[in-house]
C-alpha cells in the first residue's frame, strides 16, 4: 500500500533532523583530540567519548531494540556499559569510573554511532509506529542536552589542564566593545495564566519533556523583572563589597557550601595582578581579562551565589512561573536572535540598548527560586523512560532560558532545566526580580 504523501514527508523531516542533530554532536568534537575526549575533570562531568556512546545507546535501547525485528546490537556489553541511570534496565558502572573507559577505543565508539545511524536510517525508510517516532524525537532532544554537556564538560576539562588550552580561537568572539545598557525594569500585572504544555498525543512532530506537563493554571502576583542579566562588572562590585564574607546575605546551606569549597568568586575567575581589575576569567578561548568581559552576563554561579547577590542588591530571584509568564509575552524572534550554540561565541555577550526585556533565551541559564517538582497532575513516562526526569524531583532547583551552548531548536519558554543548588559548572547566571512597587 502506498504511503500517504504527508506521512512520507513527516518521516523525511524526522530523518533530516536526526542526521542534523547527530552531525552537530560530531561537529562539537572537531577541535578535540582523542585524549581530550577521555577527561572527566569533576564529579558532574563525563568524558566526551562517553557522551558519544551514551547518546547512541539511547537510540539503540529505546528505539532499535524495541521497534526493529531481529535488530542485532553493536556489542552486547554496551547495553550496561553506557547506561547512565536507568536502574530498571539493570546495572551500570559508577559515574566516577567513566574516565577509565580507555576501551572501547574512540574508533569503536564512532563505529557504534555509524551502526546506530544506519539502522535508524533504514527504519525511517518506511512507516513506523507513532510511539517509535516519539521516541526518536525524545532521543534527539536527549542528544541536544548532551551537546550542551559536551561543551560544559570539555570547558572544565581544559580549564583543569595546567596549560589551560583554548577550545576555539579568540577571533570568533561577537562581544566587541559593546557596553551593556543600564538595568531597567519591566512591570507585569497580576493575573491567572497558563503554565507548561499539554502535548497532542496524535502529533509525532511536536515535543516537550514530561516535566513540562501538564499545562495548568497559576496565579501571578504583580512583579517586576530586570530587563537584562546581571553583568560581570556588577558581580565584581558584590565581591569587592565583601559579599563572600557576609553571612547575612547567604542561605544557611549556601554559606556552609561556600566556606567548605573555598568559593570567593564565580567558577573560572582567577586573581591576576597584571590586569586592571585584578581578575581574569577562563573561557572557551582560554583566559581573558575581566575588563574585556565586564559587560557580559556573569556565569558559572551556584544558586547560592545568585541568591546572595540578589539579596545584596535588594531584590530577589524570579519564580519559574514569573519567568515563563514574562517569556510568553515576547515575540517569536526572541529565540531566533538569542546567543545560543549556533551563534558560535560559546560565551555570554552583552545586552543591547533600547531592546526592552532581553536575554531571556541564551547567554546563561537563569536560576529561579523554584524547587523542581512535578506540576499538578504530572505523570512520568511509562517504563524505563519514566526515570528520565521524575526521579530527580528532590533537592533540585529550576533554571530557565537556555545558555550560549544550548541548541536553538532545543529551547522554549516552557523548558525546565534543573540542578542542585551548589552546581557551578553549567553556564548559569541570574536575572533580578522584585515584587511590584519595589
Cα within 13 Å of Cα(237), Cβ side: 10
Q: Decide: residue 110, CB within 10 A, 0-12 exposed, 13-18 middle, 19+ buried.
A: middle
The angle at the Cα of 365, spanning 207 to 236, to the nearest 5 degrees, equals 175
Instruction: List, run by run, the mean pLDDT of 10-residue segments along the chain (438 residues).
Output: 63 94 98 97 96 98 96 96 95 94 96 98 92 96 98 98 92 68 96 90 75 97 98 98 98 98 98 94 97 97 98 98 96 92 96 92 98 96 92 96 98 97 98 91
Residue where a domain stops, chosen among 115, 137, 160: 160
Contact 350, 294 (CB under 8 A): no
In this structure, are 211 and 358 located in the same domain?
yes
What's 313's domain CATH number? 3.90.1580.10
In this structure, are 411 and 313 located in the same domain?
yes
| Neighbouring C-beta atoms of residue 383, cutoff 10 Å | 12
In this structure, are 363 and 219 located in the same domain?
yes
In this structure, are 147 and 68 located in the same domain?
yes
Residue 281 lies in a domain: no
Residue where a domain stops, chosen among 109, 135, 160: 160
In this structure, are 330 and 361 located in the same domain?
yes
In this structure, are 199 and 306 located in the same domain?
yes
Q: Decide: residue 233, CB within 10 A, 0-12 exposed, 13-18 middle, 19+ buried.
A: middle
Residue 67 lies in a domain: yes
| 407 Cβ contact list (under 8 Å, min separation 6) | 21, 24, 144, 147, 148, 340, 341, 342
C-alpha cell, 308? 546572595
Specify the DSSP element, H or E, that contains 46: none
> Which has the closest alpha carbon to 404: 354, 358, 338, 356?
338
| Positive or negative torsion for Cα 189, 193, 197, 202 | negative
Question: Which pLDDT does position 183 carry in this prediction?
Answer: 94
In this structure, are 88 and 187 located in the same domain?
no
Specify the DSSP element, H or E, that contains 433: strand 433-435
Residue 280 lies in a domain: no
Beta strands in 297-344 (DSSP E): none
In this structure, are 153 and 176 located in the same domain?
no
Residue 74 lies in a domain: yes
Contact 51, 157 (CB under 8 A): no
> Which has the closest alpha carbon to 66: 137, 132, 124?
132
In this structure, are 144 and 183 located in the same domain?
no
Q: What are phi and psi of 400, to 5 degrees?
A: -130, 155
Q: The domain containing residue 200 runs over which residues?
A: 171-232+239-265+295-435
| 261 Cβ contact list (under 8 Å, min separation 6) | 422
| 137 Cβ contact list (under 8 Å, min separation 6) | 14, 204, 205, 207
Count: domains in the chain? 2
| Neighbouring C-beta atoms of residue 337, cutoff 10 Å | 14
In this structure, are 35 and 62 located in the same domain?
yes
Residue 283 lies in a domain: no
Beta strands in 69-222 (DSSP E): 185-188, 191-195, 216-220
Residue where a domain stops, chosen among 160, 191, 221: 160
Question: Which pLDDT does position 4 carry in this prediction?
Answer: 61
pTM reported for the whole predicted model: 0.95
Residue 276 lies in a domain: no
> Which has the closest alpha carbon to 208: 50, 332, 324?
324
In this structure, are 315 and 375 located in the same domain?
yes
| Neighbouring C-beta atoms of residue 193, cutoff 10 Å | 17
In this structure, are 151 and 178 located in the same domain?
no
Residue 270 lies in a domain: no
C-alpha cell, 419? 540542578
Contact 186, 224 (CB under 8 A): yes
Residue 345 lies in a domain: yes
What's 102's domain CATH number? 1.20.120
Question: Which pLDDT does position 1 carry in this prediction?
Answer: 46
Amino acid at each position: 500500500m502506498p504511503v500517504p504523501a504527508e506521512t512520507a514527508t513527516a518521516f523525511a523531516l524526522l530523518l533530516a533532523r536526526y542526521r542534523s542533530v547527530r552531525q552537530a554532536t560530531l561537529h562539537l568534537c572537531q577541535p578535540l583530540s582523542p585524549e581530550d575526549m577521555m577527561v572527566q575533570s569533576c564529579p558532574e562531568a563525563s568524558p566526551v567519548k562517553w557522551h558519544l556512546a551514551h547518546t547512541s545507546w539511547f537510540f539503540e535501547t529505546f528505539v532499535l531494540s524495541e521497534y526493529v525485528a531481529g535488530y542485532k546490537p553493536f556489542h552486547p556489553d554496551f547495553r550496561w556499559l553506557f547506561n547512565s541511570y536507568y536502574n530498571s534496565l539493570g546495572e551500570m558502572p559508577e559515574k566516577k569510573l567513566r574516565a577509565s573507559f580507555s576501551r572501547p577505543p574512540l574508533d569503536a565508539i564512532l563505529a557504534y554511532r555509524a551502526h546506530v545511524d544506519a539502522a535508524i536510517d533504514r527504519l525511517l525508510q518506511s512507516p513506523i509506529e507513532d510511539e517509535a517516532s516519539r521516541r526518536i524525537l525524545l532521543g534527539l532532544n536527549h542528544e541536544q542536552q548532551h551537546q550542551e554537556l559536551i561543551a560544559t564538560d570539555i570547558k572544565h576539562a581544559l580549564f583543569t589542564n595546567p596549560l589551560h588550552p583554548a577550545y576555539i580561537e579568540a577571533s570568533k568572539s561577537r562581544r566587541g566593545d559593546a557596553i551593556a545598557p543600564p538595568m531597567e525594569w519591566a512591570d507585569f500585572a497580576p493575573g491567572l495564566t497558563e503554565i507548561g504544555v499539554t502535548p497532542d498525543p496524535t502529533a509525532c512532530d511536536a515535543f516537550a519533556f514530561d516535566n513540562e506537563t501538564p499545562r495548568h493554571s497559576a496565579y501571578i502576583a504583580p512583579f517586576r523583572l530586570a530587563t537584562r542579566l546581571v553583568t560581570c562588572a556588577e558581580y565584581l562590585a558584590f565581591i569587592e563589597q565583601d559579599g563572600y564574607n557576609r553571612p547575612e546575605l547567604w542561605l544557611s546551606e549556601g554559606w556552609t557550601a561556600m566556606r567548605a569549597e573555598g568559593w570567593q568568586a564565580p567558577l573560572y575567575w582567577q586573581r591576576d595582578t597584571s590586569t586592571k581589575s585584578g581578575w581574569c576569567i577562563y573561557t572557551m578561548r582560554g583566559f581573558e581579562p575581566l575588563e574585556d568581559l565586564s559587560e557580559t552576563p556573569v556565569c558559572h554561579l551556584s544558586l547560592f551565589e545568585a541568591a546572595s547577590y540578589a539579596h545584596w542588591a535588594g531584590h530577589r530571584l524570579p519564580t519559574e512561573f514569573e519567568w515563563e509568564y514574562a517569556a510568553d509575552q515576547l515575540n517569536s524572534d526572541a529565540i531566533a536572535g538569542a546567543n545560543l550554540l549556533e551563534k558560535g561565541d560559546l560565551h555570554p555577550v552583552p545586552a543591547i540598548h533600547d531592546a526592552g526585556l532581553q536575554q531571556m533565551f541564551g547567554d546563561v541559564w537563569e536560576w529561579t527560586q523554584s524547587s523542581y517538582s512535578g506540576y499538578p497532575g504530572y505523570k512520568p513516562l511509562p517504563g524505563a523512560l519514566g526515570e528520565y526526569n521524575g526521579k530527580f524531583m528532590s533537592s533540585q532547583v529550576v533554571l530557565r532560558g537556555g545558555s550560549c551552548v544550548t541548541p536553538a531548536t532545543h529551547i522554549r519558554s516552557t523548558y525546565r532545566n534543573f540542578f542542585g543548588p551548589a552546581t557551578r559548572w553549567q553556564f548559569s547566571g541570574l536575572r533580578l526580580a522584585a515584587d511590584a512597587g519595589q
